[in-house]
Amino acid sequence: MTWQNGGVTLEKMTSRRQSTETRARLHVVGAVALLASSMVLGGCSLLPVGSSATTESTTPAAVPEETLASAAPEVKTAAQELQIKVKDTLENLAAVTKAPSREQVMQAMVEAGAMAENVEVSVDITPTGLAVDAIEAATLVDKECVIGQVRSGEVAVTILPVLASGRCFVGDVH
């Protein structure tokens, strides 16, 4: 015997509730997928805009000067040394042009001390002929990549591990 309420059976009510629950789950899954894809597609760059991974040391007020003077000087790696030079040359370039070309970025990397044959530079024109939002360059230094970016006149430089391919960038444009 089936319970009825105005022609609607209990079985029909249960199936409607299940389809509502299923739709709610699909909405949640869709929202999560949309959020995840927007996060992935929203940033085409490894480096944040207007920031620099170059760290500057600050002297804490509570440490006496004698202690600081007796501390051993920080030894920088070759990648850290090049990072400073790359930041300087890219900032000089960005002061002249907010959107430099591949050749200009390559020249700045070489001026900083990178070997031209190890420098990888991203494209400066999209396949549809539009200018890119940012241009990046990288060079391999002792199993680390010094990566610099110029975006709208702002410079960011960081050090990242080399990829398994032995290169700094993914893809075939170098």
Question: What is the structure's pLDDT at 164?
Answer: 93
| 43 or 77: which leads in pLDDT | 77
Residue ranges of the domains in the chain?
4-41, 76-161
Q: Find all residues with CB under 8 Å of 170, minimum gap 6, and list them.
A: 163
| 44 or 65: which leads in pLDDT | 65
Give pLDDT tens digits for 79-127: 999 999 999 999 999 999 999 999 999 999 999 999 999 999 999 899 9
- Structure confidence at residue 145 as a pLDDT band (50, 70, 90): very high
pLDDT at 163 over 60: yes
DSSP sequence for 52-108: ---------TTS-HHHHHHSPPPPPPHHHHHHHHHHHHHHHHHHH-SS--HHHHHHH
Element (H, E) at 35: helix 10-42
